[in-house]
Structure 1
Amino acid sequence: MTAEKDERTRVLLADDEPLVRAGLSMLLHAEDDLVIVGELGDATEAVEQAAQLRPNVIVMDVRMPPGTDGGVEATRRLTDDAFIDNTGYTPAVLVLTSFNDDEAVYAALRAGASGFMLKHAAPSELVAAIRAVANGHAWLHPAVTRKLLNDFATRPRLPLPTLEEMQRLTPREREVLALVAHGFSNDTIAEYLVLARATVRTHLGRILVKLGLDSRAQAVAAAYKSGLVRPDDQPPSQPTRRP
């Protein structure tokens, strides 16, 4: 008799405060669709264990003890192409912090985080955030969203990113953006690159955040204006195999 596949979302907790980890663990154990695969107090160890435990979502404290990777650096390593290629999957990182700090928010999102939550958020919000990022969506705590919108509203209108600014993207993100610019839908990109649809959504969300864009249309315009894609270009080559 074949064992049923466990469809629950796999969650790894990384926070250096034992009481916080214990509270998060108790909260998430009550959710039938979530399963905790690890609880760690070290961001460096979280990166190492993620490759073995293969969580769908890593709940990461942005501030970790001296002498270890901080949550931002760990997030950058977890969302790097080399890590994804070596592990064969794309983890989503939900950054958790006690401080509504602009610098921490921007740094985490630029590093590739899929979401940002404050520790004083309601338990239901955290559960909803985990479910959202597990499905390839972005999630920002409302207080963080308000600050980002206010910051955006007070800035002068910025030009679309240049080709040099496109270097903020990983090679895989540039590949996804090129296909978006060629008119591919998320489903078509997923099939073309042999990726999960949620993974494509995650990549597109990171592209928008890193480039400071707010829509798919802006992303297409940026791809052509920067020279990443030219009108007579062919789509990137389709891989024979993609994890």
Structure 2
Amino acid sequence: MSVLLEFRDVSASYNGAIAALHGVNLTLHDGEFAALLGANGAGKTTLLKAASNLLPAERGRITKGQILFDGQDVTAHDPADHVRRGLVPVLEGRRCFKTLSIEENLITGALGKGLGRSAIADGLEQIYDLFPRLKERRKVAAGLTSGGEQQMAAIGRGLMARPRLFVLDEPSMGLAPLVVAEIFAALSRLNRDTGLTLLVAEQNSAVALRHAQHATVIENGRSVLQGRAVDLAARHDIRDSYLGGAVV
């Protein structure tokens, strides 16, 4: 498999002084489902924003190393261009347009890609097949739906942009276990059936390791462990030291 995303000894900081990443290395191949694990504040969000060239908007920058998406330095393209090239992020926090309906939220994802009516209709059909609950609630304002439905809408909006690499930050945050299971089952289905490449940052190591193929553990801005998800999940020393003793 070809390399789709690569972090080469990447360090990053905010405001020129606050160090957030320290020599991170990570390689993601086309078609993989990879998990990025670590506690709150470990550097996961900074790493994902660096991949999409979103750090400058928050007075952050890469201070060392290089990040390549599809062979090109990510800093050579702005975030909107990355979406057009197929690198689509879903940021933390169930970000929806509250006054727009669920379906209108989904359609906004396609507009950024410049898709026509036929492609939008096909995309909506695929999202509703993936998340039947959204079809039932498609005419309801997003602000009046549950947290789980808003997260599904945020994921669906990203998928409407037809990503090659789908980057998600804490998709399980604040959601009930059954909803989390439904979301991760949908992501696994996408990876399995369509070959979509996924990089998912998660504090919930149990669910992430259950679905991902590979995992990287981040601690204090450093990549401290990497390997097959099943191997990391099986090691008690790793679970106790880095994953909060989670049992998969």
Q: Quick one: higher RCO (CA 8 Å, sep 6+), 1 or 2?
A: 2
TM-score between the two structures when normalised by the length of structure 1: 0.30
- Give the number of the structure whose residues are more often helix, by fraction: 1
